[in-house]
Amino acid sequence: METLPIGKPIERIDARAKVTGRAEYGADIRLPGLLYCKGVYAAHPHAKLLKVYTEEAAKMSGVVCVVTGADIPGEKMFGELYVDQYALVCDKTRFYGDVIAVVAAETQEQADAAAELVHADYEELPILATPKMALESDIAINADYPDNICGNVHVRKGNAAAGLQEADVIVSGTYKTGFVEHAYIEPESVTVIPDRIRRELTVLGSAQAPYNLRLSVARTLNIPVAQVIVKPSVIGGSFGGKIESAESLAVRAGLIALKTGRPAQYTLTREESIRESYKRHPIDFDIQLGAKQDGTLVAMKVEAIGDAGAYINMSPPVMYKTATLGPGPYRIENVDYNATSVMTNNVHTGSMRGFGTPQAIFALENAMDELAAKLNLTPTELRRKNLLQNGDVSPCGHLLDFHEVSIRSVMEKAAQELGFDEKFAQYAQENKDGRRIRRGVGIAVSMRGASIGADGNGFDVARAFIEVLEDGSVNVDLGLTELGQGLRTCQSQMVAEGMGVSFERISFGNTDTSRAPATGACIASRSTLLGGGALKDASRKVHAIMARVLERKFNKPTDDIVFAEDRVRFADVDISFTEAAKICYALCETPIAVGTYVVPKLNWNEHEGFGEPFYTYTYSCHAAEVSVDLDTGSVDVIRMVGCHDMGRAINPVLVKGQIYGGLAMAQGMALTEDLGHNAKTSALKNLNFEDYLIPTVLDVPDENVPLLDEHPDPRSAFGGRSLGEPATEPGAGALICAINHALGHPGLIRELPADLDRVFAAVRAMEGGDA
């Protein structure tokens, strides 16, 4: 095992190209005859669109074409699960990020200038800028959802109401989170190239989900799916954000490419990207948690209302994760977790790293600290009493007897690294002396379902293509995209192990939907599990083909054939992998296969909200240490520790990279990131990184520590589960727990982000008026 590529910190295959600037991102693409696009945004967030005036713009110098929704030849709407999003608005505007027209010109400057001349007649409708307004209004944003409710998942186990009655101690209250922007370094850029021979489009650029994208383009532009070829460029981060956002750009640019016969590039400015791309759901939680005097949890009842914004997007599956993973990694008999998404005229909300759970873990873990305080227990004591172990049943009813339920050791490792228990006692003591800069520690735990879960029962599939070439090199085509997380390197390591060859033989093709079979998207922490499964299957199939050929060639049985360490051994034959490959080609055989992996059907009772919501889980704990200045409300993160059991680290350096990044992302969500949403007009004020404050290198502590607690998962082909989302999941919760500990009041801060004003106001309230 040790000599194999898995578990080795192999240098990522794109590292040098990226740091030297050789890598080509979407907006770097230049082609002969390239047109540049510029969108015109809705002037009102909710209005009937009566008429769009494009004539003046069309006459401007350099302008080649102006399109509106009326020009879309196929279906007007797109979407993966719910087809309700307009790349170009037709009937009415639903939020400030809707686009009413697109101008294409010879230069970006010409397109920008002409776009200013497009205007429209509107008939304004009332703006529903909060879920509350939308629930109370009789105006429907989407006529198919007359009450504006577009998703609901209700998890039930036992009897929460009765459980709360039995509890000795109950905490109840509300927690609230805001819109969060993905803040990828690279704003979206898509280039669409029309074929010169037939009605076919090639799409390049920042596409996280190329197979979804080709369906959306095919549907709206009336082209067979096979004639939409998507080849994502090097992508500068995505975090779930470049799915529907890239699709609407591809539809608009594709329309222009078809109309003009010329390649068209559509690149968003940062302000445009923040304006039109979907966000993390703001969720309001109303939470009740009950325990026995000894700390045993008995019941949890949560009402969660998420703001879906103007389009349904991924809201229902996001609510699925909120409700199924929001109850945390605890042993608890009675659970009632009801998560509902409500459409509004706000920016739409969709996939973002964590997908509805960082919010829920923030709410739950702070409520846990409130409970601990009431029970006179420390945060770790309360959690130790209730964390799941092997053979326990999860809060949703999943019997966990198929892998190591490691959340206890994961938490202990994180707590120990931070010195949690000692610091918890020490700071509580020293903070009593009247000091104005106080320290605090917080800890938060989570379990993350790998992949889509029962919400996608039956369609959670991955496919991979492996081809052995005559020199013994191995070509892999896999539709899961490299987003910066190092996927191509990790998947190559898995192929090398699966094929029994050295890493250097693997050539991992750039994703190309015309070469790699449809595989679902690189989302939902699914790529290691699903990609691994498909690659293993493909490896097995290629091995079988090669074995058959070798049996014929050597006329010896190959029942005991082993492919390992670049050798092929069977009977008394021991040849190099290269020789085996040569033999295949010499005998005109085809060592090529497509592997398939489908997540087994899960026993989930959707109606009763009970059963097996996911196939397997990653266990996580983040611990945080902060200092809080009571006189200004400013919070300084001293150190964070992230410990995760992702099964097996395929590439430990990349895993640690994910954890460092996840901690930083959690810090932004917890402390500073605020889009400046206006609860009357629905407008977002903070549209660039001057105003939307992500943490800088000076804000994120150099002392942050990633820890691994590996227990290879028998349910995964190579033992690994994904870590993309878990890496950020509990972080915001841990940080707010730490702030509340510093302030000496668990549950004091109940709303994100805990920025200067909010922390200061909480301190004033605590200290009683004139601080």
CB of 680 vs another protein, minimal distance in Å: 15
Task: For residues 643 and 171, give the distance between their C-alpha atoms in angstroms, rounded to a whole number.
Answer: 28
Task: Verify binding: residue 41, another protein, rule CB under 8 A.
Answer: no
Query: Which one of the spans 60-68, 477-485, 596-604, 754-762 is the region binding another protein (CB under 8 A)?
Result: 754-762
For residue 753, whether the previous peptide bond is cis, meaning omega lies within 30 degrees of 0, is yes
Query: Which one of the spans 223-231, 275-283, 447-455, 751-759 is the region binding another protein (CB under 8 A)?
Result: 751-759
Q: Which residues of 353-381 are buried (b: 16+ CB within 10 A; e: fewer)?
A: bbbbbbbbbbbbbbbbbbbbbbbebbbbe
Query: Which one of the spans 125-133, 244-252, 579-587, 763-771 is the region binding another protein (CB under 8 A)?
Result: 763-771
Task: Verify binding: residue 434, another protein, rule CB under 8 A.
Answer: no
Among 576, 590, 605, 696, binds another protein (CB under 8 A): 696
CB of 444 vs another protein, minimal distance in Å: 22
Residue 681 per-residue DSSP state: T
Task: Verify binding: residue 83, another protein, rule CB under 8 A.
Answer: no
CB of 695 vs another protein, minimal distance in Å: 6
| Helices then strands, each counted (H, E), the chain | 19, 30
Among 55, 294, 559, 770, binds another protein (CB under 8 A): 770
Among 473, 693, 744, 751, binds another protein (CB under 8 A): 693
Task: Verify binding: residue 672, another protein, rule CB under 8 A.
Answer: yes
Among 432, 436, 601, 685, binds another protein (CB under 8 A): 436
CB proximity list for 570: less than 8 A, separation 6 or greater: 547, 550, 556, 557, 558, 559, 560, 561, 562
The answer to whether the CB of 381 falls within 8 A of the CB of 131 is: no
Beta carbon nearer to another protein, 602 or 687: 687
Task: For residues 538 and 591, give the distance between their C-alpha atoms in angstroms, rounded to a whole number.
Answer: 10
- Nearest partner of 72 among 44, 42, 93, 102, judged by Cα: 102
Task: For residues 692 and 671, give the distance between their C-alpha atoms in angstroms, rounded to a whole number.
Answer: 12
Among 560, 698, 702, 768, binds another protein (CB under 8 A): 698
Beta carbon nearer to another protein, 589 or 751: 751
Task: Verify binding: residue 755, another protein, rule CB under 8 A.
Answer: yes
- Nearest partner of 460 among 508, 523, 395, judged by Cα: 523
Task: Verify binding: residue 690, another protein, rule CB under 8 A.
Answer: yes
CB of 271 vs another protein, minimal distance in Å: 9
Beta carbon nearer to another protein, 417 or 629: 629
Cβ burial, residue 59 (10 Å; 0-12/13-18/19+): exposed
Query: What are the backbone angles phi and psi of residue 28, rounded to the nearest 5°?
Result: -80, -15
Task: For residues 312 and 341, give the distance between their C-alpha atoms in angstroms, rounded to a whole number.
Answer: 9
The answer to whether the CB of 33 falls within 8 A of the CB of 213 is: no
CB of 269 vs another protein, minimal distance in Å: 8
Which amino acid appears at position 733 of this protein?
Answer: G
Beta carbon nearer to another protein, 121 or 767: 767
Output the CA–CA distances (angstroms, integers) from residue 344 to 43, 80, 319, 326, 347, in the order listed.
17, 20, 16, 23, 8
- Nearest partner of 242 among 533, 466, 511, 530, judged by Cα: 511
Q: Which residues of 619-635 are buried (b: 16+ CB within 10 A; e: fewer)?
A: bbbbbbbbbbbbeebeb
Query: Which one of the spans 303-311, 372-380, 537-545, 752-760 is the region binding another protein (CB under 8 A)?
Result: 752-760
CA triple 335-337-342, angle to 5 deg: 175
CB of 403 vs another protein, minimal distance in Å: 40
Query: Which one of the spans 54-62, 281-289, 342-350, 685-693 is the region binding another protein (CB under 8 A)?
Result: 685-693
Query: Which one of the spans 182-190, 230-238, 305-313, 692-700 is the region binding another protein (CB under 8 A)?
Result: 692-700
Among 55, 555, 697, 702, binds another protein (CB under 8 A): 697
Which amino acid appears at position 550 of this protein?
Answer: L
Interface pattern 609-638 for another protein (x via CB under 8 A): ----------------------xxxx----
Task: Verify binding: residue 608, another protein, rule CB under 8 A.
Answer: no
Beta carbon nearer to another protein, 55 or 770: 770
Beta carbon nearer to another protein, 138 or 770: 770
CB of 119 vs another protein, minimal distance in Å: 16
Beta carbon nearer to another protein, 564 or 693: 693
CA triple 69-74-76, angle to 5 deg: 45
Task: For residues 335 and 164, give the distance between their C-alpha atoms in angstroms, rounded to a whole number.
Answer: 10
Interface pattern 141-180 for another protein (x via CB under 8 A): ----------------------------------------
Among 136, 757, 765, 766, binds another protein (CB under 8 A): 757
Query: Which one of the spans 85-93, 520-528, 595-603, 757-765 is the region binding another protein (CB under 8 A)?
Result: 757-765
CB of 483 vs another protein, minimal distance in Å: 25
Task: Verify binding: residue 588, another protein, rule CB under 8 A.
Answer: no
The answer to whether the CB of 735 falls within 8 A of the CB of 670 is: yes
Among 83, 469, 545, 771, binds another protein (CB under 8 A): 771
Query: Which one of the spans 12-20, 122-130, 370-378, 691-699 is the region binding another protein (CB under 8 A)?
Result: 691-699
Task: Verify binding: residue 680, another protein, rule CB under 8 A.
Answer: no
CB of 437 vs another protein, minimal distance in Å: 10
Output the CA–CA distances (angstroms, integers) from residue 635 to 503, 699, 740, in the order listed.
45, 10, 11
Query: Which one of the spans 255-263, 311-319, 694-702, 708-716 is the region binding another protein (CB under 8 A)?
Result: 694-702
Beta carbon nearer to another protein, 294 or 770: 770
Place of tokens 């409700």: 323
CB of 22 vs another protein, minimal distance in Å: 22
CB of 756 vs another protein, minimal distance in Å: 6
CB of 692 vs another protein, minimal distance in Å: 11
Number of residues binding to another protein, judged by CB under 8 A: 22
Task: Give the relative orientation of helices 420-430 and 407-418 as an angle to the nearest 10 degrees.
Answer: 50
Q: In what order do the strands lie in the sheet with 334-343?
A: 149-157, 334-343, 297-309, 283-291, 169-176
Pairing of strands 189-194, 461-468: unpaired
Task: Verify binding: residue 518, another protein, rule CB under 8 A.
Answer: no
Cβ burial, residue 214 (10 Å; 0-12/13-18/19+): buried
CB of 687 vs another protein, minimal distance in Å: 11
Binding site for another protein (CB under 8 A): 436, 631-634, 672, 689-690, 693, 695-699, 755-757, 760-761, 764, 770-771
